[in-house]
């Protein structure tokens, strides 16, 4: 047996797993570890499964709080749970009474368990949420969209602070405002703030190198502090006004600007008055796009759930500084037998695992362990987090508005899912597939005369495009003739399926897939953007890897004159000339949409690689020249070209450049190495 339990604040480690996957730290990993190996300390016989195995573990478990994990025979995590008392909680699984079909199946598949004890139930709750998000167990409620939220950053590390969109760790010095529901909401807000406060949005390197104002200054969207078109004191005042507006003091800021506009008008300075007028209009534009702006809610997240037809939709509204900063709909993966309160409770713990929490959460209904969740979020945040289910007043109106949005988003999701299911069914019928595909991979290449060649792979399934599964392949082979699409596709296919075989093994297509099974790693169908020639190359690769019976490959050739609607399809068992679908066939539109998405992704990846090559600095190629030395050289000489022309004595004159480094730089640009 591999079951293990760690002591309070300890570390649990499975010696049979990789370091990246199964090294788990409790909330206080600095505490000494006390690891007990069940294989050495227990008399659990080999071969036990299900309830018998769980009952054997129960006899050895303590009554302390902790987290448990259940594994199947293949070593996959089935479930992660937390308990106030590990012994009492786990014993419920062994009794087998009043279990739902979901729990009965989970217990039956359990072949191993692992445990971590914690000091408090709060620590267990936080650790459980972290493990669920990282391990994504099959029987837990899973938060599907885990992308970080965008913020607005007003920098504080330069003479003239800039206005940026920011994601990720808030490590840069400055003021962060958010979260916003989407990057689009941040972009629209920044555009309006530019017109209202004339703050710069350029990078620091561009700011420091400007010798004259840019176009943004000409169209009155930047005060041009780079060339001192505005004094540092006046620009600092604009920055203060922008921070005040984003901090909720919008009415005071508007009143100040309105007073300045009136004063300029009275002094017959109409040009200056018009500038203030435009700034007021920009501020009004920001507020008009924020929808509801409650007067009694300063900082809160509002959650509402609509649970019907086996699908849950959770709508989240973000309110900061008394302003509505957008909303987003989530569709967590959960067992249909769970109640809406159970789904919402699990969702909240995962949602704030890696996000800052506001001081107030407003919910549409009471959730399980609501008080414990509030204590856990308070401990994690460092301040009191209150969780309420409002019954009247403005807060109740906000929750009702979120409920209505959750209901509407839920209806749209069901309609989209039903439509996608019909399309997949029609796709299987059209190409005479043995089963409806659960995973379709679409491939395309992009390059310009063979340069910066990139292969793109997009993935579609029962719920549409699965963007987290997209992959790009930078073409690396030096044996491929520039522009050889066959050679590029061969490299992409070989790399993709060789790695898949190594990581997942060859799939067994005779096994019936359960409806609630995880999204498969192996594709049922691959669509290739190309005709008979491309298909010949792909079939040869699949045969070489001995997987031609595991994957159905279909070629999609552009029609006559590359006209949409006249595509020809080349399935494995099709004729050499292929066949076409009727112009208005829904399956044709479905395939076109998948092909266009692959084309978009491949072109975007190619452009990103090409842009990176275009801005590549020759100094990046010199070993031993890091960011600090590169910055010193560019600051001293101005450009990389000037560095390449410099002599060794000139290079030594740069701060931080020794004679050895100077020789290294000089030799890189001069083959003969002579001075």
Among 234, 268, 288, the domain-final residue is 288
Domain assignment of residue 434, yes or no: no
Domain assignment of residue 428, yes or no: no
Same domain, 126 and 169: no
**CATH code, domain carrying 332:** 3.30.420.10
Same domain, 265 and 319: no
Domain count, the chain: 5
Q: Give pTM, 2 decimals.
A: 0.67
Please report, to the nearest 10 degrees, the dihedral formed by the alpha carbons of residues 115, 117, 122, 123 taken in order.
-90
Q: Which residues contact 114 (CB under 8 A, 6 or more apart)?
A: 2, 3, 4, 5, 12, 14, 68, 69, 71
Tell me the pLDDT tens digit for each residue of 320-362.
Answer: 877 777 788 888 888 888 888 889 988 988 888 877 888 899 9
Per-residue pLDDT band for 22 (boundaries 50, 70, 90) equals: very low
Same domain, 164 and 91: no
pLDDT reported for residue 454: 87
Q: Which of residues 257 and 61 earns the better pLDDT score?
A: 61
Same domain, 311 and 266: no
Same domain, 632 and 606: no
* Sign, Cα dihedral of 322, 328, 333, 338: positive
Per-residue pLDDT band for 464 (boundaries 50, 70, 90) equals: confident
Per-residue pLDDT band for 654 (boundaries 50, 70, 90) equals: confident
Quote the mean pLDDT of the chain.
80
Residues 196 and 279 sit within 8 Å (Cβ to Cβ): yes
Q: What is residue 208's three-state secondary structure?
A: helix
The Cα–Cα gap between 644 and 480 comes to: 32
Domain assignment of residue 419, yes or no: no
Closest among 82, 87, 93, 2 to 54, alpha carbons compared: 93
pLDDT reported for residue 455: 87
Percentage of residues in the chain having pLDDT higher than 70: 84
Domain assignment of residue 144, yes or no: no
CA distances from 611 to 259, 409, 452, 552 (A): 47, 38, 10, 35
Tell me the pLDDT tens digit for each residue of 83-108.
Answer: 988 888 888 888 766 567 788 888 88
Between 86-95 and 50-58, two packed helices, what is the crossing angle to 10 degrees?
150
The Cα–Cα gap between 253 and 240 comes to: 10
pLDDT reported for residue 525: 92
Domain assignment of residue 332, yes or no: yes
The Cα–Cα gap between 253 and 260 comes to: 11
Span 275-296, mean pLDDT?
A: 64
Tell me the pLDDT tens digit for each residue of 577-618.
Answer: 678 888 788 888 889 889 889 989 988 888 887 777 665 667
The number of angstroms, rounded, from the C-alpha of 242 to the middle of its chain's C-alpha atoms is 29
Closest among 453, 420, 469 to 593, alpha carbons compared: 420
Tell me the pLDDT tens digit for each residue of 178-222.
Answer: 778 777 778 877 887 887 788 899 888 888 888 888 899 888 889
Q: Which residues contact 305 (CB under 8 A, 6 or more apart)?
A: 312, 313, 314, 315, 340, 343, 344, 347, 364, 365, 406
Q: Which residues contact 625 (CB under 8 A, 6 or more apart)?
A: 619, 633, 661, 664, 665
Q: Which residues contact 195 (CB under 8 A, 6 or more apart)?
A: 220, 221, 278, 279, 281, 282
Domain assignment of residue 226, yes or no: yes
Residue 23 reports pLDDT greater than 60: no
Closest among 69, 81, 139 to 111, alpha carbons compared: 69
Radius of gyration of the chain (CA): 30
Same domain, 480 and 603: yes
* Strand 552-557, strand 300-308: pairing: unpaired
| Residue 401 tokens, joined | 């508005």
Lowest mean pLDDT among 50-59, 256-265, 381-390, 527-536: 256-265
Domain carrying residue 643: 618-669
Q: Is the peptide bond before 179 cis (omega within 30 degrees of 0)?
A: yes
Q: What angle do CA 239, 245, 248 make, to 5 degrees?
A: 140
Buried b / exposed e over 21-43, threshold 16 CB at 10 Å, is ebebbbbeeeeeeeebebeeeee
Same domain, 526 and 592: yes
Same domain, 359 and 377: yes
Q: What is residue 591's three-state secondary structure?
A: helix
Scanning the structure block, which residue is given the tokens 């359990």? 110
**CATH code, domain carrying 108:** 3.40.1440.10
Among 363, 393, 412, the domain-final residue is 412
pLDDT reported for residue 266: 77
Same domain, 165 and 43: no
Among 268, 288, 308, the domain-final residue is 288
Span 28-45, mean pLDDT?
A: 39
Tell me the pLDDT tens digit for each residue of 493-550.
Answer: 888 999 998 888 888 777 777 666 678 889 999 998 877 878 888 888 888 888 888 8
Same domain, 474 and 588: yes
pLDDT reported for residue 439: 93
Lowest mean pLDDT among 110-124, 290-304, 402-416, 417-431: 290-304
pLDDT reported for residue 150: 86
The Cα–Cα gap between 603 and 376 comes to: 45
Domain assignment of residue 417, yes or no: no
* Sign, Cα dihedral of 552, 547, 467, 453: negative
Per-residue pLDDT band for 442 (boundaries 50, 70, 90) equals: very high
Domain assignment of residue 185, yes or no: yes
Residue 35 reports pLDDT greater than 70: no
């Amino acid at each position: 047996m591999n079951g293990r339990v760690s002591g309070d604040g300890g570390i649990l480690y499975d010696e049979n797993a990789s370091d990246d996957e199964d090294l788990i730290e409790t909330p206080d990993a600095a505490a000494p570890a006390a690891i007990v190996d069940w294989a050495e300390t227990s008399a659990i016989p080999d071969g036990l499964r299900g309830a018998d195995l769980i009952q054997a573990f129960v006899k050895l478990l303590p009554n302390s709080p902790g987290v448990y994990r259940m594994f199947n025979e293949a070593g996959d995590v089935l479930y992660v749970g937390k308990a106030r008392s590990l012994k009492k909680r786990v014993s419920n699984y062994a009794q087998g009474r009043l279990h739902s079909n979901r729990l009965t199946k989970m217990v039956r598949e359990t072949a191993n368990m692992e445990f971590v004890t914690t000091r408090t139930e709060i620590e267990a709750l936080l650790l459980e949420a972290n493990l669920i998000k990282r391990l994504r167990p099959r029987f837990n409620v899973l938060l599907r969209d885990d992308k970080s939220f965008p913020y607005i950053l007003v920098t504080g590390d330069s003479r003239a602070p800039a206005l940026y969109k920011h994601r990720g760790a808030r490590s840069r010095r400055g003021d962060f405002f958010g979260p916003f529901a989407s990057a689009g909401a941040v972009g629209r807000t920044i555009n309006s703030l530019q017109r209202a406060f004339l703050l710069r949005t350029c990078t620091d390197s561009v700011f420091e190198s400007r010798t004259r104002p840019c176009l943004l200054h000409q169209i009155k969207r930047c005060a041009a502090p780079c060339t001192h078109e505005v004094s540092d004191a006046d620009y600092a005042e604009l920055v203060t006004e922008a921070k005040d507006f984003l901090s909720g003091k919008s009415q005071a800021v508007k009143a100040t600007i309105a007073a300045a506009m009136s004063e300029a008008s009275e002094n017959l300075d109409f040009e200056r008055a018009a500038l203030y007028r435009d700034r007021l209009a920009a501020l009004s534009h920001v507020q008009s796009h924020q929808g509801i702006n409650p007067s009694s809610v300063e900082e809160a997240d509002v959650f509402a759930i609509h649970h019907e037809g086996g699908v849950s939709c959770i709508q989240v509204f973000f309110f900061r500084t008394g302003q509505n900063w957008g909303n987003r709909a989530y569709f967590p993966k959960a067992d249909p037998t769970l109640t809406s309160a159970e789904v919402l409770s699990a969702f909240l713990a995962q949602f704030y695992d890696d996000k800052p929490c506001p001081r107030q959460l407003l919910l549409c209904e009471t959730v399980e362990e609501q008080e414990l969740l509030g204590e856990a979020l308070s401990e994690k945040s460092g301040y009191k987090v209150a969780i309420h289910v409002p019954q009247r007043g403005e807060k109740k109106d906000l929750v009702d508005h979120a409920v209505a949005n959750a209901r509407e988003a839920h209806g749209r999701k069901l309609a989209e899912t039903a439509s996608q299911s019909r399309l997949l069914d029609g796709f299987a019928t059209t190409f005479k597939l043995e089963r409806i595909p659960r995973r379709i991979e679409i491939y395309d290449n992009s390059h310009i005369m063979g340069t910066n060649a990139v292969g793109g792979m997009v993935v579609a399934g029962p719920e549409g495009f699965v963007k987290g599964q997209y992959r790009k392949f930078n073409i690396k082979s030096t044996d491929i003739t520039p522009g050889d699409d066959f050679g590029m596709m061969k490299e992409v296919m070989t790399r993709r399926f060789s790695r898949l075989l190594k990581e997942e093994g060859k799939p067994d297509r005779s096994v019936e897939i359960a409806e609630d099974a995880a999204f498969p790693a192996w594709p049922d169908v691959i669509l290739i953007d190309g005709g008979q020639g491309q298909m010949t190359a792909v079939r040869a690769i699949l045969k070489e890897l001995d997987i031609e019976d595991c994957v159905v490959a279909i070629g999609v050739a552009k029609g006559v004159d590359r006209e949409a609607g006249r595509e020809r399809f080349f399935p494995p068992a099709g004729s050499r000339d292929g066949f076409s679908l009727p112009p208005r066939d829904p399956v044709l539109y479905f395939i076109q949409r998948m092909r266009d998405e692959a084309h978009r992704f491949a072109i975007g990846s190619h452009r990103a690689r090409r842009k990176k090559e275009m801005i590549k600095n020759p100094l990046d190629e010199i070993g031993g020249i890091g960011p600090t030395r590169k910055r010193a050289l560019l600051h001293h000489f101005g450009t990389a070209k000037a560095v390449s022309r410099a002599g060794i004595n000139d290079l030594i004159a740069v701060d931080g450049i020794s004679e050895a480094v100077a020789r290294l730089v000089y030799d890189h640009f001069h083959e003969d190495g002579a001075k």
